[in-house]
Chain A
Amino acid sequence: MNEILAGLLQAGRLIVTFDADLIEISLRSLQVTLTAVAIASAIGLPLGCWLAVRRFRFRRFVIATLNALMGLPPVVVGLIVYLMLSRAGPFGVFGLLFTPTAMIIAQVIILTPLIASIAHQAIRELWAEYHDLLISMNTTRLQRIGTLLWDGRRALLTASLAGFGRGIGEVGAIMIVGGNIDNATRVLTTAISLETGKGNFSLALALGFVLIGLAVLVNLLIHTLSRTEVSGRW
């Protein structure tokens, strides 16, 4: 119990004194995860929508696979990305291993199936509602997808936020491909892991509280900016 209290106090102290290390790793956490969420959304949202609208032979199989990939173990993704990017691997020449870019790549792989799958669920319902109207109006498939993405944007926001939630708290993959290098690839989660290992519980907890605060803050910010729950019923 004392440790939790001490952790809270230390978190307060770190924030109030604008601790340089804390700010740096927090910003890197945000940079990596937000970039990964943006890329994963750019792929996952249209993909989920396309799967809802398009009928093809292996559709069920693809959707089932996508749902299964939501549970992709980050450590394994990290390992595979590590092997791909390591000097001996196929993409070794780019020298990306142990950089924030490598962490972003790993997170994109983890987040895309999650975002696509949630997007697909949301869009499927909207498509059932719009189906007859959009068919009747002689719209092209691209227009249908565009319309569904736009009119379903609030549900899709939830998909992206779920992706953000998974990404910001993720440690296994970015630890492996990033290496938790001070001033280069250290982020909040890997720092917590490190401090815990060193037995430095109050600092680890302090970072933990900052992480939770950050996740809540970003969610609130996005909800405020997009004005969900303010107008209309959706």
Chain B
Amino acid sequence: MVTSILPLTVNDAVVRRRGKTLLGPVTTTVSDTGLSIVMGPNGAGKTTLLRLLHGMERVSSGGSLQWQIPEEDARALQAFVFQSPIMMRRTALDNVAYPLTTHGVSKKDARVRAAEWLERVGLADSAQKQATVLSGGERQKLALARALIRKPEILFLDEPCANLDGRATREFESLLKQAHDDGTRVVMSTHDIGQARRLAEDVWFIHHGQILEQTPAAEFFAAPKSSEARAFINGDIVE
């Protein structure tokens, strides 16, 4: 890769809404390779952290996000998969083609490439169906294809499997691993510990809006450094 947008440096970033601090201050670095899993109890700030890194939350006073290239350009090389996939009122094919057509690819070429992606995620048969009639698992796979079609350097996923059953989750995970093997940096939040064990190369543990630790996965699951993480892994309720 000639110029990469990573690593990303985050300095003292705080997200506040209506006077309430949702996240931070966060100071960290997102390296240019890997598959990171963000864990933590509900309301810890997982979603806010991902949205912050993706540029969808404004950084309050003093903090900063520093990509390797200007932020405007970096925005175009990222993608985000939401917890409940947003299906546009179009065919599955046009949903996947959409990010290409908004970035200068002709409709015809975009559809050809979208069809290839639908094939890859196993939705080729549904290409002409309205995206809004797809099942939950199909929707999330569609959202993944749509996120990956522009070959983002970094992909954020916010609990993408929260509403999926076992089989759909397995399919989704294998697609995600494939994307990671193809060189996409992945940052994903989950509160499914099993999923974290299956996928994580390193784990970020968040509690009360603070990143308590960023540890390689093996180390994290064997001996977490913070007492909250230890309790979380043991299945205790962390508040």
A132 & B89 in contact (Cβ 8 Å cutoff): no
A151 & B90 in contact (Cβ 8 Å cutoff): yes
B132 & A136 in contact (Cβ 8 Å cutoff): no
Q: Chain A residues with Cβ under 8 A from B130's Cβ?
A: 231-232
B99 & A137 in contact (Cβ 8 Å cutoff): yes
Bin chain B's interface residue count.
10 to 19
B86 & A130 in contact (Cβ 8 Å cutoff): yes
A133 & B89 in contact (Cβ 8 Å cutoff): no
A133 & B82 in contact (Cβ 8 Å cutoff): yes
**Measured between C-beta atoms, what is the minimum distance from A86 to chain B in Å?**
48
Q: B191 within 8 Å of A by Cβ?
A: no
Q: Chain B residues with Cβ under 8 A from A232's Cβ?
A: 89, 130, 132-133
Contact (A132, B88) CB under 8 Å given A137-B98, A138-B76: no
Q: A143 within 8 Å of B by Cβ?
A: yes
**Measured between C-beta atoms, what is the minimum distance from A207 to chain B in Å?**
41
Task: Name A155's closest neighbour in chain B (CB-CB).
Answer: B89
The count of chain A contact residues (Cβ–Cβ below 8 Å) is: 19
Task: Name A153's closest neighbour in chain B (CB-CB).
Answer: B89
Bound together, the chains give a CA A133 to CA B76 distance in angstroms of 13
Contact with B82, one of A132, A151, A152 (Cβ below 8 angstroms): A132
B132 & A138 in contact (Cβ 8 Å cutoff): no
B88 & A130 in contact (Cβ 8 Å cutoff): yes
Q: A129 within 8 Å of B by Cβ?
A: yes
Bound together, the chains give a CA A132 to CA B102 distance in angstroms of 16
Between-chain CB contacts (< 8 Å), 24 pairs: A126-B89, A129-B86, A130-B88, A132-B56, A132-B80, A132-B86, A133-B82, A137-B99, A137-B102, A138-B103, A139-B102, A140-B102, A147-B88, A147-B98, A151-B88, A151-B89, A151-B90, A152-B89, A232-B89, A232-B133, A233-B132, A233-B133, A234-B89, A234-B132
